Amino acid sequence: MGASEAEVLIRQHLIDPEVCIRCNTCEDTCPIDAITHDDRNYVVDPAICNGCNACVPPCPTGSIDHWRTVPKATAYSVVEQFTWDELPQQQELAVGAVVLADEETPPQHNAAVSASSVKAPGSALRPSLHLYDIKKPITATVVGNYRLTESDAESDIRHIVLDFGQQAFPVLEGQSIGVIPPGTDASGKPHYLRMYSVASPRDGERPGYNNLALTVKRVVSDHDGQAVLGVASNYLCDLPKGATVQVTGPFGENFLMPNHPGSNLLMICTGTGAAPMRAMTEYRRRLLAQGKPVDGKLMLFFGARKQGELPYFGPLLKLPASFIETHFAFSRADGEPKTYVQDKLRAAAPAVAELLKGDTYLYVCGLKGMETGVMEALRDICRAADIDWTELHARMVSEARFHVETY
Ligand code: NAP
C-alpha cells in the first residue's frame, strides 16, 4: 500500500559546514550534479541526490558523510542549507511515519565505481581519524617556520613545524590536518578550517618527537591572478616560533602509503602537492638509515615553475639515485621550454612502464589541471609498452594502488 508524501521518510544526504573545507571535490565527483555551493557552504540538493555515495570516499574530511532521516515533504532545501553554520540534530519523527526508503530511494553504490573503490592500500597502517574537531580542537605550538623557496623566488612556500607536546595526535603519511584561522570572515562568522597535508613521516618531523610539518604556500592571488590574501596561508606563514594554532583532524584514510617495504612508489606532484610525497619519501629514507630492508623502488616526478620555487629541492638532490629516481619539471625556467610533469613522465617512459608492471602504488598530488595530462601520459606510456592501460588502471584502482589528491 502506498504512503502519502507527508508520511514518507527519506535519508537526506547533508554536508557538515563546520568540517567542510570547500575543496570542491564532492561537486566535481557527483555524477548527477546534485551538489552545489555558494560563497560559504557546499550543499546537496535533495531533489536530485540519489544516494549513490560516489562523493563520499574522495572527500578528504569526511564532512560529506552525514545523513538525517526526514519527511520527504519537508526535506532541507538547498536555500536552507546555505544558511547553516552547523548541521541540524536528527529530528524526532512522527510515530507511525512510514519509511519507504527502499521504494523511494534508488539503491546505494549505483554509480562511479572507480570513485567508490578508492581505499587505502591493504598493507597501510590503520589511521587515527577525527580525534579533534572544530568544537574541540587541539592546540599546537609552532616550533619552526622556515622558507623553502629561494629568497628571490616569486612564491613564499614555508615548512611550518607544529608540536603537540604531551597530547596524542598520531598521523600517517598521506593524512591531512585542519587549521582554524582565528577571527571572523566578512560576514562576522568564524573562519572555516583549511586543510593541509602532513609533510612529515609518522614518527615526527624530528624522529621521536610529537611534531609534524606542513608545506604552506602564501596565497597572494586567486586562480585568475587577482590580488587576494589567503586567510589561513598568510596566518600560518606569518606565525612566529612559540605561537599556538588550533588544529583539527587527523583526516584522510585513502591517500596512505603501503606498509610493506617491497612496494614501489610512483609519485607525481606539483608545487605544494609535494607535502605527502615528502612524508612518504622521508619515511622510507629513515627505514633505510636504520638498516631495515627496503626493496621497493621510489620514482618522483615533481613540477614547479623554476628550481628556486621548488620546495625541498636541496634535500631531494642529496638523496642517492639508488634510493629514489627524481625527475624535475620546470615550467618557467629561463631559456628553457615549458615542461610539465607529464612531459617528464613521457621522457622516462620505459622506466615508468617497467615500474607500472610491478607492485607499484601511484600517487598524484597538486594542481587539478595536471590530472588530464598525467592520465594521458600514463595511457601513452602503457600503449608503447604493450600494456593495456584501461585494464591496468582499473586493477590499480581496485587494488588501492592508484591515488589522486588534487585541488
Ligand atoms: P603552482 O606553483 O601554481 O604550479 C606548480 C607547477 O605546476 C607549475 O610549474 C605549473 O606551471 C604547473 N602546472 C600548471 N598547470 C599544469 C597542468 N595542467 N599540468 C601539469 N602541470 C601544471 O602550484 P601551487 O600553487 O604550489 O599549487 C599546488 C596545488 O597543490 C594547489 O592546488 C594546492 O591546493 C594543492 N595541494 C596542496 C597541499 C598542501 O598541503 N599544501 C596538499 C595537497 C594539494 P605553470 O608555469 O603553467 O603555472
Q: What does the block give as the cell for 52?
A: 549513490
Q: Are 220 and 230 in contact (CB under 8 A)?
A: yes
400 and 270 share one domain: yes
221 and 150 share one domain: yes
What is the pLDDT at residue 98?
Answer: 54
In CATH, what number is assigned to the domain containing residue 187? 2.40.30.10
Of the residues 197, 200, 233, 263, only one is catalytic, namely 197
Count the neighbouring beta carbons within 10 Å of the beta carbon of residue 49.
Answer: 21
Inside any domain, residue 295: yes
The β-bridge relationship of strands 298-304 and 324-330 is parallel
> Which range marks the domain in which residue 361 is found?
264-406
Listed in sequence order, the residues at least 6 apart from 42 whose beta carbon sits closer than 8 Å to its beta carbon are 15, 17, 20, 22, 24, 26, 27, 35, 36
**Cell 573562519 found at:** 191
Residue 312 is among the residues annotated as catalytic for this protein: no
Inside any domain, residue 48: yes
Q: Residue 384, SS3?
A: helix
Inside any domain, residue 211: yes
Q: Are 210 and 289 in contact (CB under 8 A)?
A: no
In CATH, what number is assigned to the domain containing residue 105? 3.30.70.20
Distance 329 CA to ligand 1 centre (A): 12
Distance 196 CA to ligand 1 centre (A): 14
Q: What residues line ligand 1, using a CB cutoff of 6 Å?
A: 196-197, 215-217, 270-273, 275, 303-305, 331-332, 340-342, 365-367, 369-370, 373, 405, 407
Could you say which DSSP state residue 255 is in? S
15 and 101 share one domain: yes
Inside any domain, residue 269: yes
Inside any domain, residue 2: no
Which of 251, 286, 321 finishes a domain? 251
Inside any domain, residue 277: yes
246 and 312 share one domain: no
| Long-range contacts of residues 167-170, Cβ cutoff 8 Å, at least 24 apart | 167/138, 167/139, 167/210, 168/131, 169/131, 169/132, 169/138, 169/140, 169/210, 169/212, 169/247, 169/250, 170/128, 170/202, 170/250
215 and 287 share one domain: no
Distance 366 CA to ligand 1 centre (A): 5
16 and 102 share one domain: yes
**Cell 508524501 found at:** 5
285 and 402 share one domain: yes
**Cell 578550517 found at:** 193
d(CA 297, CA 299): 7
Inside any domain, residue 321: yes
Inside any domain, residue 69: yes
Q: Residue 244, SS3?
A: strand
Q: What is the separation of C-alpha 373 from the centre of its chain, rounded to a whole number of angstroms? A: 19
Distances from the Cα of 362 to the Cαs of 265, 283, 366, in angstroms?
6, 16, 14
205 and 285 share one domain: no
Count the neighbouring beta carbons within 10 Å of the beta carbon of residue 185.
Answer: 13
278 and 161 share one domain: no
Q: Which of 290, 252, 119, 60 shows the shortest CA–CA distance to 173?
A: 252
> Based on the number of CB atoms within 10 Å of its own CB, is 370 exposed (0-12), middle (13-18) or buried (19 or more)?
buried
In CATH, what number is assigned to the domain containing residue 285? 3.40.50.80
Which of 230, 251, 272 finishes a domain? 251
d(CA 278, CA 289): 16
Residue 154 is among the residues annotated as catalytic for this protein: no
314 and 389 share one domain: yes
CA angle 372, 376, 379 (to 5 degrees): 140
What is the pLDDT at residue 3?
Answer: 54
Domain count, the chain: 3
Which of 182, 216, 251 finishes a domain? 251
The β-bridge relationship of strands 324-330 and 138-147 is unpaired
Distance 10 CA to ligand 1 centre (A): 41
| pLDDT tens by residue, the chain, 407 residues | 455 555 688 889 999 988 888 888 899 889 999 999 998 899 999 999 988 888 887 787 778 989 998 988 899 999 999 999 889 998 887 665 555 443 333 333 222 333 344 689 999 999 999 999 888 999 999 999 999 999 999 999 999 999 999 999 999 999 999 999 999 988 888 888 899 999 999 999 999 999 999 999 999 998 788 998 999 999 999 999 999 999 999 999 889 999 999 999 999 999 999 999 999 999 999 999 999 989 999 999 999 999 999 999 888 989 999 999 999 999 999 999 999 999 999 999 999 999 999 999 999 999 999 999 999 999 999 999 999 999 999 999 999 999 999 88
73 and 102 share one domain: yes
What is the pLDDT at residue 109?
Answer: 29
Ligand 1 pocket, mutate which of 150, 212, 272 (most atoms under 8 A from CB): 272
376 and 346 share one domain: yes
